[in-house]
């Protein structure tokens, strides 16, 4: 793997974990939804005033010429923007992946509402800020803030498009520049869908340079190398020039590679979260319960010591012990630090009127498991048999692509799952988990230390 890509994946996953990741989306990312770029948008207007958009390099001036033609009236321009962008479109894969990541601040110069749709489909709430007055309020229940620094199609009378708009931007929208400058100093940005020759980008690059007073922060972008020889030579100079702004470029040959990179980013981030599945009756065999509790507590300590996140439904034996181990490992940390490392969502037994209990519980499990990339199975006993809920969680985890590590020595559902996976290890185990480590989780291993050492090795490989 290219060193630049390796550095990006490591740094951006770390930023996601710390809550300091930011995203800047340009028009290129929306083209997968068949929305036009600037040139296509202004093509008809250019013809109307006797110009050829292919001959125009300053599209901001072109938009201004069009407004000038109608004595300063923006009515036609605003109508075009609304018709073009204020409509339902399919959500591209890249947007879906980004919406699933814990990105707190999202910036865009786009007018469309694809980002809003992607976050909505992911079950998240965006606090959209497209006008200056939006900056003075905040939604405490929002998952992220979306800064539409050039406005939005649903309010076309306030979009930034003409030369007048750009020249007066610092006076008409100063709050956006102030917040952007702060974000560029304190957050790690990923720039996507930007050509870095787009006139929309002037304010961004200016804010970047201003943010260097107290030291340069590393940001990243993913760019496609042009196929035209001259454009490719110019591209190399652009990539080098971006270093002045603290932006490191990951270069790809095809746009599909961007989706692959984002999927790998999501996978690596997910593997920093461990879902502990399992159960054991409180009135079960005392010796066996003590063994299961010790293993679960040890798993929690390992998760905490590796700065991973523990996800659990908080069962009375397995889940409770895992949380205890996590808290022990994080002893001395602040309450905020501990809360960032722990997600507890008990499977709900109370359902809405008319809903099926089993369907509701499955949905709860799916939502919980979706927050992790690794699943550790401990025990899993219910009424003298392998717990159906734990077995169902295994099936959900396979569907969602989690790495499953069943500790067979704890018996019951964990042993059933381990036997199933051992019979089909090639399909169910990732390359990072060698056969020896997986076998160390088998029923033959009874030593607590050996079991926990195997879990620690596996998590160490998966979290890199």
Query: Is 150 designated active site?
Result: yes
> Residue 185 and residue 22: Cα distance in Å, rounded?
11
CA distances from 416 to 93, 387, 464 (A): 36, 10, 29
Exactly one of 95, 105, 150, 203 is catalytic; name it.
Answer: 150
- The encoded tokens of residue 80 equal 């075009």
Q: Which residues sit opposite 374 in a β-bridge?
A: 274, 403
Of 229, 254, 80, 252, the C-alpha closest to 159 is 80
178 φ/ψ angles, rounded to the nearest 5 degrees: -65, -45
> Residue 219 and residue 70: Cα distance in Å, rounded?
42
Of 90, 93, 104, 108, the C-alpha closest to 26 is 108
How long a stretch of residues is the chain? 464
- The encoded tokens of residue 252 equal 């790809």
Alpha helices, DSSP H only, in 357-442? 357-369, 388-400, 413-423, 425-428, 435-439
> Residue 212 and residue 419: Cα distance in Å, rounded?
56
> Residue 444 and residue 68: Cα distance in Å, rounded?
82
> Residue 165 and residue 214: Cα distance in Å, rounded?
30
User: What are the residue numbers of the active site?
Assistant: 150
């Amino acid at each position: 793997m290219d060193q630049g890509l390796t550095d990006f994946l490591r740094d951006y996953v770390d930023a996601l974990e710390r809550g300091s990741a930011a995203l800047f989306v340009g028009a290129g990312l929306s083209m997968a939804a068949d929305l036009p770029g600037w040139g296509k948008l202004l093509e008809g207007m250019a013809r109307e005033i006797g110009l050829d958009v292919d001959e125009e390099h300053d599209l901001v001036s072109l938009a201004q010429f069009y407004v000038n033609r109608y004595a300063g009236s923006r009515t036609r321009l605003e109508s075009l923007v609304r018709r073009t962008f204020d409509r339902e479109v399919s959500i591209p894969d890249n947007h879906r992946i980004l919406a699933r990541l814990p990105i707190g601040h999202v910036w865009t110069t786009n007018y469309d509402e694809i980002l809003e749709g992607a976050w909505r489909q992911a079950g998240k709430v965006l606090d959209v800020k497209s006008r200056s007055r939006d900056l003075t309020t905040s939604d405490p229940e929002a998952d992220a803030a979306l800064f539409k620094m050039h406005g939005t199609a649903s309010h076309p009378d306030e979009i930034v498009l003409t030369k007048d708009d750009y020249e007066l931007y610092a006076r008409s929208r100063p709050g956006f520049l102030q917040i952007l400058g702060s974000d560029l100093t304190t957050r790690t940005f990923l720039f996507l869908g930007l050509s870095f020759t787009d006139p929309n980008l002037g304010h961004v690059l200016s804010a970047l340079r201003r943010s260097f007073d107290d030291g340069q922060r590393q940001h990243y972008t993913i760019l496609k190398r042009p196929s035209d020889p001259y454009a490719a030579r110019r591209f190399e100079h652009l990539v080098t020039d971006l270093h002045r702004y603290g932006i490191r470029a990951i270069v790809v040959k095809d746009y599909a590679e961007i989706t692959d990179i984002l999927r790998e980013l999501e996978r690596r981030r997910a593997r920093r979260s461990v879902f502990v599945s399992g159960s054991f009756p409180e009135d079960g065999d005392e010796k066996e319960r003590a063994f299961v509790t010790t293993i679960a507590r040890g798993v929690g300590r390992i998760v905490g010591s590796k700065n991973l996140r523990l996800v659990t439904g908080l069962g009375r034996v397995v889940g409770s012990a895992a949380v205890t181990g996590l808290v022990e490992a994080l002893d001395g940390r602040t309450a905020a630090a501990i809360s960032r490392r722990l997600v507890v969502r008990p499977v709900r037994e109370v359902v809405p009127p008319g809903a099926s209990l089993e369907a509701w519980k499955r949905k709860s499990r799916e939502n919980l498991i979706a927050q992790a990339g690794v699943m550790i199975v401990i025990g899993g006993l219910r009424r003298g048999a392998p717990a159906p809920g734990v077995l169902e969680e295994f099936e959900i985890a396979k569907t969602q692509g989690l790495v499953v590590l069943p500790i067979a020595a704890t018996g019951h559902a964990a042993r059933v799952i381990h036997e199933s996976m051992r019979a089909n290890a090639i399909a169910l185990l990732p390359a990072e988990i060698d056969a020896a480590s997986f076998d160390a989780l088998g029923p033959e291993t009874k030593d607590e230390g050996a079991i926990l050492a195997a879990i620690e090795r596996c998590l160490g490989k998966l979290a890199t």
